Copies of this chain bind each other. A is one copy, B any other.
Amino acid sequence: MKNKIIALLTLLWLSVVCCFAQSNTIKDDFKPSTLNQPGQEFPQVNSQGYVKFKIFAPKADSVKVSLGLGGRGGTILSKAADGFWYGTTEGPMDEGFHYYHLTVDGGIFNDPGALNYYGSVRWESGIEIPAHDQDFYALKNVPHGKVERILFPSKSKNTSLPAFVYTPPGYSQNQSVRYPVLYLQHGWGEDETAWANQGKANLIMDNLIAEGKTKPFIIVMTYGMTNQVKWGKIRDFSIEPFQTTLLDELIPYVDTNFRTINKSSGRAMAGLSMGGMETRTISINKPDVFEYYGLFSGGVFAPEELKNKDKVKLVFMSSGSKEYPDRVKTAAAKLNEAGIKSVAYVSENTAHEFLTWRRSLREFAPLLFNN
């Protein structure tokens, strides 16, 4: 009996130790990030979301990475005899996409191993922590739409401006079909490349369409001129230059050059972060252009702000669970009480980052153009 008790206690002890050890162990299953430059082995990500860096700078005195645990100042790398600097984040990162950069002897540079993405008003290194639900934005063997880069004439800016246009699979074959359009804006520090590059908007749409979960529609992504103010001064941002370009120049160009449904019931506008602020401001200034609105981590609407509320078919507001989930839920409830159809969405275990916005697009798209 005593032996049995000892055996049991030993087993219990072992399992406690084992669990404890496991919870503190960084698993050795690191793989190159899917956003590395071709052939680059580092940075690497493990199944828990830790990131391992390897940077060549044999004569440097200090190399840091801005990626790490939020607020704790990133990851300090250590120099090895081979001239490389090595280091691993102190903890796991949130699932999804993150921007980062290196600080090498006080200067800010990108990681030569990683691809670059436009954020923070510069091209920064990007990394992808595989998400448990990454299948919805994966490149799959389904029919693919196209992403076109257009140059549209802008009288107000006296030049041609770029935009990206997603046309769904079948667009070029179905010559008699007209499609509704979502105008989809990036956030502060980003530009017209964000939604197709780090947002994977085209793959999200291809997959939703293949599963029959959304109507096919066109997405137009242009530069929101959001970077003409500094981050802390966003209240000083003037919407007019962008509003003129969007409403008076881009929309007429798109309606002429693509087979669109050229009326407000065939138009939606959405944006992430400051792009949500733009969506909200334009909906207030010009209530007759769009009938569907999406604010992804981009604030909320109050019922009295919607001047044209009988015409508004949907207000979608989202937030990462680490942002302000209760605020979007409360705001949606108030809109619904006021007779305006509204949906709140909360992305679990994410903050103000692209996985929140990829998921927001996945949730928003099926709700569009159904009326």
Could you list which residues of chain A lie within 8 angstroms of chain B, going by C-beta atoms?
37-39, 55-62, 83, 102, 104-110, 112, 115-116, 121-123, 139, 141, 144, 146-153, 159-160, 165, 172-173, 175, 191, 196, 227, 257-258
Given A115-B123, A144-B160, A160-B144, are A59 and B172 also a contact pair (CB < 8 Å)? no
Given A62-B59, A149-B148, are A109 and B110 also a contact pair (CB < 8 Å)? yes
Give 6 new A-B contacts, CB below 8 A, not counting A56-B106, A60-B106, A105-B105: A59-B61, A108-B112, A146-B148, A147-B148, A148-B148, A149-B149
Residue of A58, A83, A107, A172 with highest tally of chain B CB at under 10 A: A107
Given A60-B60, A146-B149, A160-B144, are A106 and B83 also a contact pair (CB < 8 Å)? yes
Given A60-B107, A107-B57, are A150 and B159 also a contact pair (CB < 8 Å)? no
The answer to whether B139 and A159 have CB atoms under 8 Å apart is yes
A146 to B83, CA, bound (A): 46
Residue in B61, B62, B123 whose beta carbon sits within 8 Å of that of A116 in the complex: B123
A249 to chain B, nearest CB (A): 13
The answer to whether B109 and A104 have CB atoms under 8 Å apart is yes
A116 to B147, CA, bound (A): 21
Query: Which residue of chain B has its CB nearest to the CB of A58?
Result: B106
Query: Which residue of chain B has its CB nearest to the CB of A124?
Result: B112
The answer to whether A104 and B172 have CB atoms under 8 Å apart is no
A225 to chain B, nearest CB (A): 11
| Chain B residues near A149 (CB-CB < 8 A) | 146-149, 196
Query: Which residue of chain B has its CB nearest to the CB of A147?
Result: B149
Query: Which residue of chain B has its CB nearest to the CB of A39?
Result: B121
**Among all A-B residue pairs, the 5 with the closest Cβ atoms:** A57-B107, A59-B105, A109-B109, A58-B106, A60-B105
A111 to chain B, nearest CB (A): 9
A298 to B55, CA, bound (A): 35
| Chain B residues near A123 (CB-CB < 8 A) | 37, 115-116
Residue in B55, B121, B144, B151 whose beta carbon sits within 8 Å of that of A38 in the complex: B121
A-B contact pairs, 11 of them (CB 8 A): A55-B107, A57-B105, A58-B107, A60-B60, A60-B106, A104-B104, A112-B122, A144-B151, A144-B160, A147-B149, A172-B257
